[in-house]
C-alpha cells in the first residue's frame, strides 16, 4: 500500500519539526526559538513507511517570506496530499488557538478544496488542561474543521502516527498551486510601516461601513423588500470598493508590480484583499435569508428576452410586463421593480449615507437600464403577473411555458474568493506570474529522507 502524504503547515516555532522527529526518530531537526529553523520543505518517511511527512518553513517567518512560502507551495505540489495538518501551539486560552486556526483556514481554503483535507494538530498539550473532545467540538463550531490531533512532550511517535492516519482523506488531492492560487493561499507582504498603515486604514474603514450599514438597515422606516434590495446592492457596492481600495494603496505607495519588489507589492494587496473579503463575508451570510425567497424562478420572454419573476398570479397566460396589482403596493414597496439605492461614504464625517432614489415606475425601469449600461449592474425586474397597464413588449406569454434562467448573479450567495475582485491589474499579472514561475523552477526536486 502506498504511503499517505501529509504536509505540515503553520507558523514558525509551533513544533512542526518536533512532530517530524517523533514520527521518524531523527534528531536535530527542531529549534527551541520562535524563529523558523526550517528554511526549505523536506519530506521524510516515517519508521514503518506508512506516512510521508513533509516539514515546511514557518509561514510567519520574518526573513524572505516569499521564497519560504514558495517552498511550502512546492511541498503541496510534490504529490497528491492526504492531509494538510495545521500545526498550532496550545496556549492558556483555548479561544486563542481557535482564532489562530480560523485565521489560517480562512486564508488557506480554496473553494474547491475538500474540507476534510485540512486537519489540526495542537502541540504542547501537556502544558494545558483541556479536554480533547471539547477542543474538537469548539474547533468544529468555530472553524468547520472536524478532525484534530493532539501531541504532548511524551507522546510516542507510533501513537501520533496512528492519530494522523485517522485524519487522512481516503482519496488524496492534487493541489496544483500556480501563481494565482499562490496569492490566495499565502501572506508574504513585508513589514513596511507605511504600507501596513494604509492597509489598516482601509480595513478599518471597511469594517466601519459594514457596521453602519447594519445599523441603517435596522431602522423601522424600511420594509422587508427594501432591506432585501438594499443588502444585495450594498454587497455589490462593497465589492467595487475593494477594487478601489487596491488602487488607493497601490497609488499611495507607488506600486508598479515590476522588478525585485513585485512579490511583496502583490503580497500586500493580496493580504488586504483577504481581510476586506472576510469583513464582507458577514454581509453575504446575512443575504442568504433573502436568497432563499428567490427560488420561485426567473423566466425569459420569448419575444423580447426580458427576464421576469412571478410574485403573484397564476401560471397561465398574460402579457409581457404586466405590473403589480394595487393590493401589492403596500409598505413603501417598489411596485414590482427592485429598489435602487445609492451609497455614499462621507470622508469628512466618516459616515455612510444610504438613500433610496425616488422615482416613479417609468423612471425606475429607465434607471435600471442606465445602470446596466454604465456599470454593468443588474437589469432584472421583479414584475408581478396580474392585470394592469402593460409594460415590457406586451407580447402574449404563458408563465408555465417560458424558458427558465439562472438566478441573477447578485442574488447568488457563494463562498468568498479572490475571483470576486481583481487581485492585481491585468497588465501586471504576466510579470508577477513570470517571477513566480522562475522562483519555483529554482527549487530542486523534493528529497526524501528516511
pLDDT at 365: 42
205-210-215-219 Cα dihedral, nearest 10 degrees: 130
Q: Which three cell numbers stand for residue 297?
A: 424562478
CA dist 20 to 117, 152, 225, 269, Å? 19, 14, 57, 34
Tell me the per-residue pLDDT of 386-427, one tens digit each, with 9 for 90 and over: 333 345 787 888 887 888 776 555 445 444 444 445 556 667
**pLDDT range class, residue 160, cuts 50, 70, 90:** very high
Residue 328, pLDDT > 70, answer no
More confident residue, 63 or 298: 298
Element (H, E) at 367: helix 361-375
More confident residue, 390 or 22: 22
Q: Do residue 391 and residue 263 come from a single domain?
A: no
Separation of alpha carbons 98 and 87, rounded Å: 12
**282: Cβ–Cβ under 8 A, 6 or more apart, which residues?**
210
Range of the domain at 132: 4-177
Nearest to 84, CA basis, from 14, 167, 143: 167
Residue 185 within a domain: no
Q: Do residue 41 and residue 105 come from a single domain?
A: yes
Angle, helices 262-291/429-441, rounded to nearest 10 degrees: 110
Q: Do residue 280 and residue 301 come from a single domain?
A: no
Helix and strand element counts for the chain (H, E) = 11, 14
Q: Do residue 285 and residue 300 come from a single domain?
A: no
Residue 21's Cβ-count burial label (10 Å; 0-12, 13-18, 19+) is middle
Domain boundary among 115, 147, 177: 177
Domain boundary among 125, 145, 177: 177
Q: Which three cell numbers stand for residue 391?
A: 409594460
**pLDDT range class, residue 80, cuts 50, 70, 90:** very high
Element (H, E) at 20: helix 16-24
Residue 353, pLDDT > 50, answer yes
Angle, helices 94-107/262-291, rounded to nearest 10 degrees: 100
Residue 446, pLDDT > 50, answer yes
Residue 116, pLDDT > 70, answer yes
**172: Cβ–Cβ under 8 A, 6 or more apart, which residues?**
4, 5, 79, 80, 81, 82
Domain boundary among 152, 177, 202: 177
Q: Which phi and psi angles does 262 have, rounded to 5°?
A: -60, -40
What mean pLDDT comes out for the span 63-87? Answer: 87
Q: Do residue 33 and residue 173 come from a single domain?
A: yes
Q: Do residue 395 and residue 423 come from a single domain?
A: no
DSSP state letter for 166: H
Separation of alpha carbons 183 and 390, rounded Å: 51
Nearest-Å Rg of the Cα atoms of the chain is 27
Q: Do residue 304 and residue 207 come from a single domain?
A: no
Work out the percent of the chain whose per-residue pLDDT is above 90: 20
313-314-318-324 Cα dihedral, nearest 10 degrees: 10
Residue 440 within a domain: no
Residue 313, pLDDT > 80, answer no
pLDDT at 382: 36
Asked which of 21-25, 97-101, 334-338, 433-437 is least confident by mean pLDDT, the reply is 334-338
Element (H, E) at 78: none
Instruction: Identify the bridge partners of residue 344 per DSSP, sorted by sequence position.
Output: 353
**Which residue's C-alpha cell is 450594498?**
234
What mean pLDDT comes out for the span 95-99? Answer: 88
Residue 187 within a domain: no
pLDDT at 133: 86
Grouping H, G, I as helix, E, B as strand and the rest as coil, residue 211 is helix
Instruction: Identify the bridge partners of residue 404 per DSSP, sorted by sequence position.
Output: 299
Residue 254 within a domain: yes
CA end-to-end span of the chain: 17
pLDDT at 323: 65
Cβ atoms of 29 and 55 closer than 8 Å:
yes
Residue 291's Cβ-count burial label (10 Å; 0-12, 13-18, 19+) is middle
Cβ atoms of 365 and 336 closer than 8 Å:
no
**pLDDT range class, residue 380, cuts 50, 70, 90:** very low
Residue 214, pLDDT > 70, answer yes
Residue 45, pLDDT > 80, answer yes
The CATH number of whichever domain residue 63 belongs to comes to 3.40.50.300
Asked which of 175-184, 267-276, 316-325 is least confident by mean pLDDT, the reply is 316-325
Cβ atoms of 338 and 308 closer than 8 Å:
no
Q: Do residue 283 and residue 252 come from a single domain?
A: yes
Q: Do residue 74 and residue 20 come from a single domain?
A: yes
Where helices occur in 90-143 by DSSP H, the ranges are 94-107, 132-143
Tell me the per-residue pLDDT of 142-152, one tens digit each, with 9 for 90 and over: 888 889 999 98
Residue 437 within a domain: no
Number of domains forming the structure of the chain:
3
Q: Which phi and psi angles does 351 have, rounded to 5°?
A: -125, 145
Residue 198 within a domain: yes
pLDDT at 112: 61
Q: Do residue 329 and residue 203 come from a single domain?
A: no
Nearest to 245, CA basis, from 209, 212, 213, 211: 209
Q: Do residue 148 and residue 233 come from a single domain?
A: no
Residue 151 within a domain: yes
Q: Which phi and psi angles does 214 have, rounded to 5°?
A: -60, -35
308-310-313-319 Cα dihedral, nearest 10 degrees: 10
**pLDDT range class, residue 84, cuts 50, 70, 90:** very high
Residue 174, pLDDT > 70, answer yes
Cβ atoms of 325 and 388 closer than 8 Å:
yes
Round the average pLDDT of the chain to a whole number and report it.
Answer: 77
Separation of alpha carbons 448 and 44, rounded Å: 5
Cβ atoms of 325 and 331 closer than 8 Å:
no
Q: Do residue 170 and residue 30 come from a single domain?
A: yes
Separation of alpha carbons 104 and 87, rounded Å: 10
pLDDT at 33: 46
**pLDDT range class, residue 100, cuts 50, 70, 90:** confident
DSSP state letter for 173: B
What mean pLDDT comes out for the span 134-139? Answer: 88
**296: Cβ–Cβ under 8 A, 6 or more apart, which residues?**
309, 310, 311
Residue 447 within a domain: no
Amino acid at each position: 500500500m502506498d504511503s499517505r502524504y501529509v504536509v505540515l503547515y503553520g507558523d514558525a516555532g509551533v513544533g512542526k519539526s518536533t512532530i517530524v522527529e517523533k514520527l521518524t526518530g531523527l534528531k536535530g531537526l527542531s529549534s527551541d526559538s520562535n524563529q523558523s529553523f526550517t528554511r526549505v520543505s523536506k519530506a521524510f518517511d516515517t519508521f514503518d513507511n506508512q506516512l510521508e511527512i513533509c516539514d515546511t518553513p514557518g509561514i510567519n517567518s520574518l526573513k524572505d517570506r516569499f521564497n519560504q512560502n514558495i517552498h511550502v507551495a512546492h511541498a503541496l505540489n510534490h504529490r497528491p496530499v492526504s492531509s494538510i495538518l495545521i500545526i498550532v501551539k496550545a496556549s492558556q486560552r483555548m479561544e486563542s488557538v481557535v482564532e489562530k486556526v480560523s485565521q489560517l483556514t480562512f486564508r488557506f481554503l480554496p473553494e474547491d478544496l475538500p474540507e476534510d483535507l485540512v486537519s489540526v494538530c495542537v502541540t504542547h498539550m501537556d502544558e494545558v488542561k483541556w479536554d480533547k473532545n471539547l477542543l474538537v467540538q469548539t474547533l468544529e463550531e468555530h472553524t468547520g474543521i472536524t478532525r484534530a490531533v493532539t501531541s504532548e512532550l511524551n507522546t510516542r511517535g507510533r501513537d501520533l502516527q496512528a492519530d494522523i492516519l485517522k485524519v487522512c482523506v481516503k482519496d488524496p488531492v492534487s493541489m496544483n498551486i500556480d501563481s494565482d492560487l499562490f496569492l490566495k493561499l499565502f501572506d508574504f507582504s513585508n513589514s513596511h510601516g507605511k504600507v501596513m498603515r494604509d492597509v489598516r486604514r482601509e480595513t478599518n474603514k471597511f469594517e466601519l461601513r459594514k457596521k453602519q450599514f447594519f445599523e441603517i438597515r435596522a431602522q423601522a422606516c424600511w420594509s422587508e423588500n427594501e432591506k432585501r434590495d438594499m443588502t444585495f446592492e450594498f454587497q455589490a457596492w462593497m465589492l467595487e470598493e475593494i477594487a478601489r481600495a487596491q488602487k488607493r494603496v497601490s497609488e499611495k505607495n507607488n506600486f508598479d508590480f515590476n522588478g525585485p519588489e513585485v512579490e511583496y507589492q502583490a503580497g500586500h494587496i493580496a493580504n488586504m484583499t483577504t481581510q476586506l473579503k472576510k469583513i464582507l463575508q458577514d454581509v453575504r451570510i446575512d443575504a442568504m435569508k433573502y436568497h432563499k425567497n428567490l427560488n420561485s424562478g426567473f423566466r425569459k420572454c420569448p419575444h423580447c428576452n426580458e427576464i421576469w419573476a412571478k410574485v403573484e398570479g397564476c401560471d397561465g397566460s398574460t402579457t409581457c410586463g404586466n405590473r403589480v396589482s394595487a393590493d401589492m403596493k403596500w409598505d413603501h414597496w417598489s411596485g414590482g421593480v427592485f429598489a435602487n439605492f445609492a451609497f455614499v461614504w462621507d470622508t469628512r464625517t466618516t459616515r455612510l449615507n444610504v438613500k433610496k432614489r425616488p422615482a416613479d415606475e417609468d423612471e425606475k425601469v429607465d434607471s435600471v437600464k442606465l445602470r446596466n449600461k454604465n456599470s454593468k449592474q443588474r437589469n432584472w425586474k421583479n414584475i408581478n403577473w396580474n392585470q394592469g397597464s402593460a409594460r415590457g413588449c406586451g407580447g402574449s406569454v404563458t408563465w408555465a411555458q417560458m424558458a427558465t434562467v439562472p438566478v441573477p448573479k447578485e442574488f447568488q450567495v457563494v463562498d468568498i474568493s479572490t475571483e470576486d475582485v481583481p487581485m492585481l491589474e491585468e497588465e501586471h499579472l504576466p510579470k508577477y506570474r513570470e517571477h513566480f514561475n522562475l522562483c519555483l523552477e529554482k527549487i530542486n526536486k523534493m528529497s526524501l529522507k528516511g
